Structures are given as structure tokens and as C-alpha cells.
Structure 1
């Protein structure tokens, strides 16, 4: 790695100024800081943890490359709009390489910055006296470190359930201060195996689950957040009973059909397990995360990506999620199935909203899929119907079984989590191909279709390349196959 495993003197961590409603407004860096002396109170440690959240926020809510959007662009939920700026077209057409800018270097650098700051907190944790406050700080740091490594692993390496040999393939470098990984600025570590990565991710999360507090305020991890993440990580790792058990530990209830639209205008926190909050009232410190999908004004919507014609029209008319996902955006005389979830807060079209990292709906879908994988079809159907009862009006309980039930779980996952950065990873972890429809970008299916309609299962491009700067700085850091 390139300077990702040393104690940094300029720490992107501290002096977190909190806005109203506990939103993390902005984080000012301090320079020439020494963790041994700076971290001397609960508040200074929490400032450090808030710096970790800031790094996560940086790569999830980047206006041009946010992780809430690129996985949908890489997959089959959306289509490139010809009248837009053609942003991220290199990703949409699978032409990325180790020198491609935007998402690839952003994810690598910001994830490891988050890891660095978390390790600084963990390394100094004994500056605090034993007790609940110390445990909570350590729990947040462990969970955030695990989550940043999890994002690195699923982006740049195979996922354990992706193929029969995924666990033995190259993962990423897991940096732990407890192992002395951050003490040598000239170290050049090699990649560990995927199996080793997931063992360490799970180890950090399981430890965090017994330490972290029930409520740390908006935009921060808490006990529900850790168990929600565990339900996802266990599912990715094929630990299906553990995924079910973790899901059962999450107390956050589903947003109902009335509440759901308000979730995406930040008027409601219903069903949110963990989100990355931004200061949506400040031009200087807000982040127009939604411009990755579109830019709107009073007269037009310049869509970058619209919902795929076949996908959107496969959603039932009595599915309440249709009106949460899509609105009709008009530009240059054409109508498009424009993306609604990141349009903005109530009355706004600036694309500035909080990023919903994990919701109770995903946790329930994780549980349903895990139940199906264990052959517990009646339980899986009950979990799926629990979700559908809050998403359809009128609601009629489903009776699917076998392959039909599996398809229903995956389709509802696709609809529920659409535009939130899941689709590429869901297809990848299941070892499935990406198959885009041959329709065009305009609302009636006409227009220009995608240049590349299929990415076959097992294609090397399911693993993004490691940036050239990193492999050049560390000769022991092997590049992914195919690049």
C-alpha cells in the first residue's frame, strides 16, 4: 500500500463540529497531532471516531463517484442517458483500468484513511478509564474499521460466495494496530486471502457488538448498526444461520408505506439502521450526492442515468416503491424514468440528502435469503411477506416456493434497494451475470440502449482494479487478474 499503514501526523479526524439533530456537520483536520496526547477525554475520542465517519461519508456521498450509486451504474438497474453529461461512462461500459480516475482511487484511499483513523483511536484507547464510555468508543472504532475493510474487500476482491475458489483468492490488506501494522511507514504488505479478510471483518464486528452503545446519535454506528452490518457480512460469507441470528438482534422496525417516501427526503428516519448524515443546510459543507444520477432545476431534469425500462415496468402498479424510486424527468423534449431517491430534501432538487447505508428492509431481506439458503422456505416466505405487507396496497400474501420463492426474494431485494449501491454486489456475490435489457434510455423504451448488455459471471471486471499508484509504491501488492 502507499502510506496507508503508518501513524499519520496529519490526522483527518478531529474537531468535529456538530450541527442540529446530531448531524455530523464538518470535520476539521488537526496537524502535527500526537494520538498519545490528543486522545485524552471521551469527547476527543468521539471527535476521532467522527473523523472515521467523515471518511466513510467521503466515498459514499461523493457527488461524482459515490458508492451509493456506482454499483447500480455497473449493473442493470439504470441506463446511461444520452442527453446527460455521460459521467461515469467508463464504469458503465466496463472500460475501467488501474489508471481510471473517480471511483477506483477514491474508494481505495478513503477506505484506508478511515482505517487509519480508526486504528489511531484503537491504539490510544487505554488513555480512557475502563467503563461504558471506553467500551462504546472502542466498539464504534472496531465496527467502522471493519466496515471500511468490508467495502475494500467487496470492491477489489472476490466475495466468498461468488465462486468455489473465492476464499483462497487474493483479498485486501487488513490493517490492525493491535498487530503492529501501523508502526512502520515503509512496510510493503502483501494481500491476504479473502477468507482471512472476512474472518477479521467478522471478528472486529462481533467484538464491537458487545461493546457499542444502543444509541450514539444520528450518523453514527450503534448496536443495531453493528448487527445490521453483521447480517450483511454473514450473508456475503455464506454464514446463513449467523445472518439470521444477527438480523434478529436488530430492533429497528420497517418503514411502512406511508413513511417510506419521507425517508428519502430526510423527513423521516423510519427503518434506518445506519446512515451517513450530512449538513444539508450548508452550501459549503453539504454534498450533492444525487447529482451522480441527475441535476434538476425548475424547468428540467438532466438525467445522467435513468431507470432501466424493463426493470421499472416489471414493478407492480400496486407496489408503493414505484413512486419512491421514479419520477418523470424531462430534458430536451424527452421524458425519462428519472431517479427519485436522491433528488433532495422536501421541496429541493439539489441532490443533497443523507446516505442510507443500511435499513431494516435490507436486514429482513438478508434474513429471508439466508432462511431460503438453509431450506427454511416457510420462514423465508414469512419474512418476505412481512416486507411486502408494508410495500403493497392492497396486499395479498405470497405463496411462492422453490425457485419461485428465491426469485421473489431477489426481485424484492432489487426493488427495495434500487439506487442505494447494492445491485452490482448482489449479482457478484451470487455468482450471476449482469444482463441488461436491449431497450433505450427514453421513458417508452426507445432511444439508445447500453453499449454492453452482458457481463458474464466470473468476468474479471467484477473485481475493480487496484490503482496503479498503489501497486507501483508496493511491489508486494499484486494486481487483480485481467488488468
Structure 2
């Protein structure tokens, strides 16, 4: 039982508002350092990192459905209980529980990763390849969580920005770090991922044998593509996305089979198609249903519906697009109203598709467009559309028309996957909600560059950590 102390929810520097907390003698420090003994312990600890990502405050809800609920593609219905309204109406403060919960859960992932990273080399068994596999995953997942923190709380996405990023943690000591700059935060993220790539090349098993519910080298390359796009490193984004696209393990499924990605049950936690690079497995009886804030299947409560703005993206014949039928359906119990159905299958217990091949096509298309490589960008856009839309005819786009098409395709393809809020901020756009948005929602628009696109550092963290007392994000 001693080793299980590692997985308590006490998060090093994410503490309560009580200042006395930081003065408590770290009574569990010895257990954290010595609780893992052999390689089997570290195998279990690596699973523990992944399990922390399933929390409601992370990919169980906040970094999944909520990011679309905060945009203009889903609107709140009278069936909603209003539990997320302070987020969806952008009236949150530094005391907001959803925000503090996300902060805490991401640092929990980092704590668990640090436990593996800082201890596994001391294992005396001659299992170098196995050590490399587990340490590589821990490094990549630490980078993943630091990047997700940066996306929400960092003051900029620019690779070399000297604005404030987030506190960086690479050890298991109780400490009170200040906020690193955005540049320094990226430095750590890229260092972790590059170190991971080297370790992945010397594992005990082939990378292709790592299930998609664990973090493989292919997943690390996909994550690097995403991060590089955010950071404005377009050449790198193209390079990493290309590695994923060209892998023998990936391929866009046919239009006829696309719905299986979202309807077929998991088999032993495995992926059901070649489009999924990394998925977070949810377990019946242990986790929440990942789409439940939008559509809670057991009691048939549809709290959010797809907006007219989103539905109109599919044009006059939406049934031609495989995504329309895979993501929404007409509900006879509501007079034929269109409701979300993406996570309806298996009573909502599906894996969260955190990294998908289609995103790599969209990343590469955008990165090409940013470099005025219009032919290449159009080719990627055409490839994805042809796989999704019946009778699609290729287009050769340039300039603003090309970028707008990429934005539209991201909204269609990645619907309810946690990208929209970050995309709006990343593009420097604002949000103008359509005619569906009325009571109970009250806020209809948020201008480009508004301070609320950057979340506040949780007040309990500010109170507990003097190092960041004067580092709150502006206007909170």
C-alpha cells in the first residue's frame, strides 16, 4: 500500500488557500522518493499518469466539451442546469472552481510524471529498454500537461515571448516556483519531447506495438506538430505532421466507415480505426461520460445543441458529409430537433480521441498556408474533404479564402473535441454568437483580444504561493 501514497491528490505546489499549508513538513516526501521499487511499480505509475488525464477537470470535460461550449458552435438549452454558465458566458473570476480544478489536475499529471522521470533510472534491474519506454511516456505527458496549462493560462503563444507562461515543475520537491516566461515554458516542453523521442528509439518493444491508449513516439510527433503550430514554428509543424501522415500505422478511413470512430465500442481499450493516434480511455463505473455536459445520455438531457452557425457550415446537403451524421442527429422526441450524438454510443463511455490523423492534415495545411505554400495547403485540405464529403470536387485556394476554409474545416472536423476556444484565441478572432443564443445564456459576443481568452491564475494558488502573488493575468 505504501506506493499508493504516490497517487493521492496532493499536488506539490497546488495547495489550498490557507497560507499555513506551505509550512507543513512534507511528511510524505520519503514515500514519494522511495515508494516505487521495481520496474513493475513504474509500469503502474505510468498508467497512473494517464489515469489523471481522465478527470472531469481535465479531458473528462474541461479540455473536451467545455472548450466548444464556450464558443459559438454549441448553444445552451432550457434543459441545462446552468452548471457551466459562468464559463460559457465568460464571467469567471480567479475564484472559479472549474478553472482551479483544471489547474490542479494538470499539475497532478505533472507530479505523477515527475515521480517516474526522477526515479526510474535508479531501478537496478537490467531492463534499459523498458525503462526508456516508460520514461519517454512520462516526459511526453509532462510536456503535454505543461502545454495545456500554457494554452489556457499563458499570456502569449509566441515561441519567444517574454510574457508570463506557467510555473514549470520538473522535480517532486515541495516548492513555490514563480511563473516562467512563455519562452521558458516552451523550452521545457520541447526539451521533454526531444528527450522522449530519443528514448523511444531504444525501447523494449516496437513503437507500433504501443496501444493508442498509451503515449507512443507517433503520439509525441503528433503533439509536436500541434505545439509547433501554436508556437508559430510552421516548418516544424509541417515536418512533424508529415511524419504522422506518412506512418504506415495511420490512414483516413472511408466516408462510409467514419462513423465507427464514434460509435463502435472499445475492445480492451484499443483504438477502432487508423485515424486515432492517442486516446484517453474511460472506464465504465469509474469515470464520467465524456460528452455528458452537452448530452447526458442516461436521462436524455440535452443541455447544449449545435448552433445554426455550425450547422450552416455543412451547406444545403449536410448528409453528404460523413461528419454530420457522425456528430449530430434529428431527435424524434424533440420534434426532429438536431441534437449532439458524437458521444452517445455505449451510453457515453468512449475513449477521448486526443490526437487524430485528421488534425495532422489540418495542422499541415495551416502551416503550409502560413508559408504561402498554397498548392500544398490546398492538397491537404482536399485530401481530408474527399475522405469526408460525398462527391467532393477539389479546390485550389489561396490567401484569405484558403485560411478561412481551413478554419471552417477545423470547426467541422474537431467539433466537441476541445479545440474551438483555443483556435479563436490563436487566430486573434472574436466570438459572435448567432440567433440561437438567448436565455438562459446572456452573453452574445466577446471581442478579439479580450482578456478573458487568458484564464486567471486560481486565487487559492495566488494565496498559497508568494512567488506568483504579483503575477496574476491582467484584469483579474
1:291 correspondence with 2:314: no
Q: Which residue, out of 172, 189, 193, partners 2:177?
A: 189
Distance 2:337 2:182 in 1: 40
Per the normalisation by structure 2, the TM-score is 0.85
Q: Which residue of 2 aligns with 1:264?
A: 262
1:83 correspondence with 2:79: yes
Distance 2:343 2:156 in 1: 28
1:48 correspondence with 2:49: no
Report the more deviating stretch, 76-85 or 422-431: 76-85
CA gap of 1:86–1:13, structure 2 versus 1, over 3 A, is: closer
1:199 correspondence with 2:187: yes
CA gap of 1:278–1:191, structure 2 versus 1, over 3 A, is: same
Q: Which residue, out of 466, 472, 476, partners 1:479?
A: 472
Superposed counterparts of 1:15-34, under 5 Å: 34=31
Shift of 1:109: 0.6
Q: Which residue, out of 416, 423, 426, partners 1:429?
A: 426
Shift of 1:330: 5.9
Distance 1:449 1:386 in 2: 40
Distance 1:455 1:207 in 2: 40
Per the normalisation by structure 1, the TM-score is 0.84
User: Is the contact between residue 74 and residue 307 of structure 2 (CA under 8 Å) also seen in structure 1?
Assistant: yes
Distance 1:190 1:321 in 2: 44
Q: Which residue, out of 117, 120, 124, partners 1:125?
A: 120
Q: Which residue of 2 aligns with 1:170?
A: 164
Q: Which residue of 1 aligns with 2:450?
A: 459
Shift of 1:257: 1.5
CA gap of 1:304–1:62, structure 2 versus 1, over 3 A, is: farther
SS at match of 2:155: coil
Q: Which residue of 2 aligns with 1:383?
A: 380
Shift of 1:84: 2.3
User: Is the contact between residue 157 and residue 194 of structure 1 (CA under 8 Å) also seen in structure 2?
Assistant: yes
Superposed counterparts of 1:95-110, under 5 Å: 95-101=91-97, 103-110=98-105
1:245 correspondence with 2:239: yes
Shift of 1:450: 4.7
1:194-244 CA distances to partner (integer Å, 9 max, x unpaired)?
Answer: 111112111111221222251322411001100000000000000100011
1:44-79 CA distances to partner (integer Å, 9 max, x unpaired)?
Answer: 21111111101111146666x431111111111111
CA gap of 1:449–1:383, structure 2 versus 1, over 3 A, is: farther
CA gap of 1:61–1:473, structure 2 versus 1, over 3 A, is: closer
Comparing both structures, which one devotes a greater share of its residues to helix? Answer: 2
Superposed counterparts of 1:29-428, under 5 Å: 34-59=31-56, 65-101=61-97, 103-128=98-123, 129=126, 131-161=128-158, 167-177=161-171, 182-183=172-173, 185=174, 187-212=175-200, 214=207, 215-250=209-244, 251=247, 252-267=250-265, 268-279=272-283, 282=284, 284-297=285-298, 301-316=300-315, 317=318, 318-329=320-331, 335-345=336-346, 350-428=347-425
Shift of 1:334: 5.5
Aligned pairs, number: 433
Distance 1:482 1:131 in 2: 50
User: Is the contact between residue 153 and residue 454 of structure 2 (CA under 8 Å) also seen in structure 1?
Assistant: yes
Unaligned runs of 5+ in 2: 10-27, 266-271
RMSD: 2.4
User: Is the contact between residue 13 and residue 52 of structure 1 (CA under 8 Å) also seen in structure 2?
Assistant: no
User: Is the contact between residue 74 and residue 424 of structure 1 (CA under 8 Å) also seen in structure 2?
Assistant: yes
Shift of 1:357: 0.5
User: Is the contact between residue 160 and residue 194 of structure 1 (CA under 8 Å) also seen in structure 2?
Assistant: yes
User: Is the contact between residue 13 and residue 48 of structure 1 (CA under 8 Å) also seen in structure 2?
Assistant: no
